[in-house]
Structure 1
Amino acid sequence: MTNAQKFLDFYNDLDKVFAKELNHTDYVAFSSKVRELFNKNSVVRRYVDDLYQLGSLRNAISHQSKGGAAIAEPHFETVELIEKILQEFKNPLKVIPKFLFEVYAVTTESDLIELLDKMKTFDFSQAPVLDESGSVIEMISTNTISRWLFGQMKHEEIILPGVKVAELISFIETPKNYALISRNTTVFEAAEIYVKASKDKKSKLDCLIITHSGKSTEKLMGIVCIEDIAEYLMD
């Protein structure tokens, strides 16, 4: 099978899943499907320029062939790309299970020295702060702890035992600088949340907190930092 034949097979499959997603029963041009899906699907938004180019390539192969031979033969990388888009559209990668892990959380009454010990042992830099009902109310980071330490430099000696997380809250640089997302959020949607928040707030979010349906009252399932999804950010 030639690259052109493989490409057309993947293209036709992609065209069909786009039509199914949009509930189209009559013929609609591929480019029109892409435009319609742009506002609905993060995978399409991520690859929108590629999709238009792939549509043009399909037209060149299908409509301008001579004697049954394709006038254009796609590169292997092009065939891989359209297959990748097809698979990601059909089975988008979600934040769970990709970022599933046991989240260490604290309360305002937790000891700072215990938090520091956990951070060192398990190598993490942020911890959610929960209220008495178990809802997320803030995020404490190593940056917050550093700001608190600098604030204590006026004292001759800093005594960590007995210091509670509550004393660090006022040292958080940007309060509530996180977003809650559901377990069904795709990695592309998560990346878009970071981009939008950066534009709106003029500063990046500290993290995304994953719960079952994105509610602060639910069990924490994972945390996503921008470094974790850098490869999924829009160009």
Structure 2
Amino acid sequence: MSNAERLIAIYNHLDRFMRDLDEKDQYIPFSRRVQKLATHGGPFDKYKTDLLLLSDLRNILVHEAYLDNINPIMEPNPKLMERFEMIYGRIISPPKALDVVALKGHEIYKVGFDARATRVMENMIRHGYAHVPVVENEVVQGVFSEHSVVNFLTQMPGSTIGPELRVGEIMGVVQKDSYQHQRYRFAHRDVTAFEVEDMFWSQQGQDRKGRLVAVFLTSTGKKGGMLLGMVTAANIAGFRV
């Protein structure tokens, strides 16, 4: 199969796939359907420019009259075809965040309520960690960060961060602060990388105080579930275009 034939096949498969997603508008053109689906985020938004290019190239190949014994007026570049095939695969079978962008449970630096706060902060500085999940019995109870310490000192005037201060004591104070809850979210283990990416993009315009810093993937998609993975803004930034 030539690259031109492969391109047309990808277009046809995607066209049918999009029609199944958008049953109300069966007769709108491919390009308009892409633009419509892109408004919902996800892969159609991420790859909108590529999909519109795919549509243009397909139209050139199909609408310029040529017979089976005449070569098409162009042959798509192999690198371009690799990209179209990658995009096709990601749209038809979106990769799970847990598989492609998340730190797995055993890779995550996490602490319990009984951990000494000073030791945790030393490890955070040494390894460059900004946010550390606080986990008890494999369940996320909160997130420890420099903001946790600042909030603790602000809400407990006269307190100090001594060597015996435990993470649980700090979290018992800052968890009451709604600001702490705005900075991380929970999602189900089966959430796609595109859905997690959209969570971060949707909060881009917010100030630092309310900006999402981590998404925790759990067995239930809620705080009470078992921690299976963690995605930060840095992880999602590495999600290959």
Q: TM-score range by the shorter chain?
A: 0.7 to 0.9
Letter in 2 for 1:5: E
Alignment of 1:76-225 (within 5 A): 76-98=78-100, 99=102, 100-102=104-106, 103=108, 104-107=110-113, 109-113=114-118, 115=120, 124-129=129-134, 136-141=140-145, 143-144=146-147, 159-160=162-163, 162-165=164-167, 166-167=169-170, 170=174, 175-176=180-181, 177-199=183-205, 201-203=206-208, 204-225=211-232
The match for 1:50 is: 50
**Counterpart residue identity of residue 175, structure 1:** Q
Aligned residues: 225
Q: Secondary structure at the match of 1:221?
A: strand
Q: Which letter does structure 1 place at the counterpart of 2:143?
A: M
TM-score (norm 2): 0.74
3-state SS of 1:128 partner? strand
Deviates more, 1:111-120 or 1:215-224: 111-120
SS in structure 1 opposite 2:185?
strand
Distance in 2 between the 1:195 and 1:40 partners?
Answer: 12
TM-score, normalised by the number of residues in structure 1 = 0.76
2:148·2:174 contact (CA, 8 Å) conserved in 1?
A: no
C-alpha contact 1:183 1:214 (8 A) present in aligned 2: yes
How high is the sequence identity, in percent, across the aligned residues? Answer: 22
Mapped to 2, the partners of 1:210 and 1:5 lie a distance apart of 40
Structure 2 unmatched ranges of 5 or more: none
Partner of residue 73, structure 2 = 71
Cα distance in 2 for residues equivalent to 1:163 and 1:124:
20
Between the aligned partners of 2:130 and 2:12, the Cα distance in structure 1 is 46
Instruction: Pick which of 208-217 and 118-127 moved more.
Output: 118-127
Q: Residue 138 and residue 145 in structure 1: after superposition, are their counterparts in 2 closer, same or farther (change >3 A)? A: closer
> Cα deviation per residue 1:169-212 (whole Å; 9 max; x = unaligned)?
5599x52211212222221221221121122x223322111113
Equivalence for 2:9: 9
Contact 1:188 1:233 survives alignment (8 Å): no
Residue 226 of structure 1 is aligned with which of 205, 230, 233?
A: 233
Distance 1:207 1:119 in 2: 16
Q: Distance in 1 between matches of 2:10 and 2:140?
A: 44
Deviations 1:81-131 (A, max 9, x none): 211111001121111234222352423x54325645775898854322368
Q: Distance in 2 between matches of 1:91 and 1:27?
A: 24
Structure 2: how far apart are the matches of 1:48 and 1:217? 37
CA separation of 1:85/1:127 partners in 2, compared to 1, >3 Å: closer, same or farther? same
Instruction: Tell me, yes or no, if the aligned pair for 1:134 and 1:217 is still in contact at 8 Å.
Output: no
The amino acid that maps onto 1:92 is P
Q: Which amino acid aligns with 1:56?
A: D
